[in-house]
């Protein structure tokens, strides 16, 4: 600095935490219902280590019927919004998600729904 040949060395240490989401309950089982009757449940989405606001998107599975037709009998709603918000105490607010199923055709399904943030985590 100021033409002084002294060298300064700065060493930095840190921990990078990747954002993640957890679910309560960790898996979902919807009860069998008669055709064209909706079954629904709520789950809590628990975001962790998000340092800026993000929004959750959901990829719902399509089911293939015996005749080859494809249906999407699932739907999701976020009654308080899809935004992951970073609060002043350093935590993220939990989100509530209502997942429902309704089908006019008999189906059984075991699979995944994907919850993805804006950075595709």
In a domain, residue 39? The reply is: yes
Domain residues for 111?
28-116
Number of domains in the chain: 1
In a domain, residue 60? The reply is: yes
In a domain, residue 40? The reply is: yes
In a domain, residue 11? The reply is: no
In a domain, residue 16? The reply is: no
Distance CA(102)–CA(40), nearest Å, equals 9
pLDDT 10s digits, 3-51: 666 667 788 888 877 888 999 999 888 888 999 999 999 999 999 888 8
Section 78-96 average pLDDT: 88
Q: What is the average pLDDT value for the chain, to the nearest integer?
A: 88
The structure's pTM equals 0.79
In a domain, residue 12? The reply is: no
């Amino acid at each position: 600095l100021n033409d002084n040949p002294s060298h300064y060395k700065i060493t930095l240490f840190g921990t990078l935490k990747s954002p993640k989401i957890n679910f309560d309950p960790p898996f979902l089982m919807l009860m069998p219902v008669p055709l064209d009757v909706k079954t629904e449940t709520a789950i809590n989405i628990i975001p962790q280590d998000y340092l800026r606001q993000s929004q959750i998107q959901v990829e719902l599975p399509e089911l293939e019927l015996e005749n080859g037709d494809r249906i999407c009998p699932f739907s999701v709603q976020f009654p308080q919004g899809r935004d992951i918000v970073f609060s002043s105490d350093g935590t993220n607010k939990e989100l509530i998600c209502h997942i429902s199923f309704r089908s006019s055709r008999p189906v059984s399904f075991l699979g995944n729904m994907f919850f993805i943030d804006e950075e595709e985590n």
